[in-house]
Amino acid sequence: MKMTFIGATHEVTGSCTYIEACGKKFLVDFGMEQGEDCFENVQIPVSPPNIDFVLLTHAHIDHSGLLPLLYAGGFTGEIHATVATSHLCDVMLRDSAHIQEFEAEWRNRKGKRKGDDEYIPLYTMQDAVGAVSLFVPHEYEKEFQVSDGINVKFIDAGHLLGSSSIEITLTENDISRKIVFSGDIGNINQPLIRDPQYISSADYVVMESTYGNRNHEHPIDYVTALTDILQKTFDRGGSVIIPSFAVGRTQEMLYFIRQIKADGLVKNHDGFPVYVDSPLAIEATNIFINNRESCYDEEALSFVRRGINPIGFEGLITSVTSDDSRAINDDLRPKVIISASGMCEAGRIKHHLKHNLWKKENTILFVGYQASNTLGRSLIDGARKVKLFGETVQVNAEITKLAGISGHADYNGLMKWIKSINSPKKVFVNHGEEIAVEALAKEIRENLGLDVYAPYSGAEFDLASGEITFDAPPVAIPHKKHTEPSAVYDELVSASQRLYNLIKSNSGRTNKDIRELTNAINKLCDEWKL
């Protein structure tokens, strides 16, 4: 019995763990790395055809996104997941493949003029469809046998529709071990889906630490906050544009808006239209509805039992085709537009921003995390002008956000989850930035008295003996250093001049505006450790 840590070790994305036991070789998750990589990941020690099966915690791409690549490499085994995860992966992996192919087409079109080598997509739509065909869906809480000596059970993790923690019981040579993989543990009191379910026993625990070093802001009354934004914007004749993640966050927004409409909270704008402009979000919403009995919480189910769709209402309009999308901005009524992507980096939301950012009566409402160096982050940080499709667009719309919405458990939630497990022999902490991993590991070690290990990629553990057989060192990814100024550096210098001109132009503006700009500059300097 051997466990090897592959991905999401001292990093947040790219979840993957390799296990050999009972004559089988299998993976728990096989996710795509997203954002900045800090450490090198080792390769899976066997080729894809030699992997017998995969256990998948949930559908997010940082946990599932490389399954089509596994298929492309010759993997033909089963992928075990919950029913809802299987359904979501059907649309999310196809969407990921579409992005891969689109990027390859764009790069090759651009590179052809330069004489660059052909760019090959990571995987194709055919690979995604092939991977989806291997899914075997399972119900929560129902143990099943994958093969002799390997039993598995999915427990609701409360993070995303269908998300799970996984209990794996291995029995080999009269030795039995129970390993629990937390997956991404959900935040409590999220709309629609249940809170995380807790597990009472395990020999070994592999748990995430995304928010291992901090707690969330005190939750606000989202319905009241959203009502105020809608009322204020509609009263001045504007529309509310919501960049939103297609799976999870979009459905939460629909849940809040249904309540606002049902209770008549927005005055003098009865029947205001709500557009969902994202084919992926539309498909995901239908999957939410179809999995309501197994995944909804009691509040959401109470609506269902009364014949009410908790994420559907009069005035909800879905836009599938490009023509449908373009027609939205011809509707001059005050309205809500929900569109992907959530960080404004791609998709139809960029078109809606182009049409609406320059109008002072509108509101751009952010409802999710905005990573550094994204368009969404620039807007949150106070950008006055942005480039969209090669055109400079003035930011006159009100930019605001709903704080505190998170699908991840915070420090308190993570500690509550691990405390529920009675005296595990060892706890492995992964899936977090280095500072979060080490902070949570320290807290578990000192406050709970448990044996804790935070592995780097390549670390190996003998499940039978309980010994770390290889304590892998961190292998940092070197950052490129320029010995002389480059064209890119010249662009940076030009940007600094632009920033200086921006500062000068703000002389005479309100103290509020100047303070916002100052905070944005200080935040940028902090991020780059200046």
Most confident range (mean pLDDT) of 199-208, 213-222, 361-370, 494-503 is: 199-208
Residues above pLDDT 90, as percent of the chain: 71
pLDDT given at position 88: 96
Average pLDDT (79-108) is: 90
- What is the pLDDT at residue 491? 57
Range in 24-38, 92-106, 470-484 the model is least confident about = 470-484
Mean pLDDT of 49-66: 96
Whether the per-residue pLDDT at 267 is higher than 70: the answer is yes
Quote the pLDDT of residue 342: 81
Sign of the alpha-carbon torsion through 406, 407, 408, 413:
positive
pLDDT greater than 60 at residue 268:
yes
Confidence of residue 483 (pLDDT cuts 50, 70, 90): very low
Tell me what the pLDDT averaged over the chain comes to.
Answer: 90
Q: Is 347 helix (H, G, I), strand (E, B) or coil?
A: coil
**DSSP string for residues in 25-81:** EEEEEEPPP-S---BPPPPPSS-GGG--EEE-----HHHHTTHHHHHHTT--SEEEE
Phi and psi, residue 216, nearest 5° = -70, 160
pLDDT of 481:
47
Q: In the predicted model, what is the mean pLDDT of residues 140-159?
A: 97
Lowest-confidence range among 16-20, 382-386, 429-433, 496-500?
Answer: 496-500
Residue 327 has pLDDT above 50, yes or no: yes
pLDDT-derived band at 493 (thresholds 50, 70, 90) equals low
The pLDDT confidence band at residue 35, using thresholds 50, 70 and 90, is low
Specify the higher pLDDT residue, 525 or 375.
375
User: What number of helices (H) and strands (E) belong to the chain?
Assistant: 16, 23
Q: Alpha-carbon distance 521 to 495, whole Å?
A: 13
Closest by CA to 199, choosing from 210, 207, 187, 211, is 207
**pLDDT band per the 50, 70, 90 thresholds, residue 530:** very low
Taking 70 as the threshold, does the pLDDT of residue 492 lie above it? no
Instruction: Say if residues 315 and 261 touch (Cβ distance below 8 Å).
Output: yes
Q: Which residues face 145 on adjacent strands?
A: 151
pLDDT at residue 521 in the model: 83
Q: Distance (Å, rounded) from C-alpha 81 to C-alpha 57? A: 7
For the ranges 323-332, 359-368, 390-399, 488-497, which has the lowest average pLDDT? 488-497
Q: How far is CA 148 from CA 23, 134, 145, 173, 426, in A?
A: 9, 20, 7, 12, 25
pLDDT in tens, 270-310: 899 999 998 899 999 999 999 999 899 999 999 999 999 99
Start-to-end CA distance of the chain, whole Å, equals 48
Residue 523 confidence (pLDDT): 72
pLDDT at 54: 98
Q: What is the pLDDT of residue 170?
A: 98
Predicted confidence at residue 524, as pLDDT, reads: 76
What is the pLDDT, as a whole number, of residue 404? Answer: 67
pLDDT for residue 107: 80
Report the percentage of the chain scoring pLDDT > 70: 94
Residue type, 463: L
Helix (H) / strand (E) containing 294: helix 292-295
pLDDT of 56 > 80? The answer is yes
| Average pLDDT over every residue of 209-216 | 92
pLDDT category at 38 given cuts 50, 70, 90 is: confident
pLDDT confidence of residue 104: 85
- pLDDT of 482 reads 41
Q: Is the pLDDT of residue 498 over 80?
A: no
Asked if residues 88 and 59 have their Cβ atoms less than 8 Å apart, the reply is yes
With a cut of 80, say whether residue 496 has pLDDT above it. no
253, 244 Cβ separation under 8 angstroms: yes
Q: Are 140 and 156 contacting, i.e. CB atoms less than 8 angstroms apart?
A: yes
Q: In what order do the strands lie in the sheet with 2-7?
A: 135-138, 78-82, 53-55, 24-30, 16-21, 2-7, 460-462, 467-470
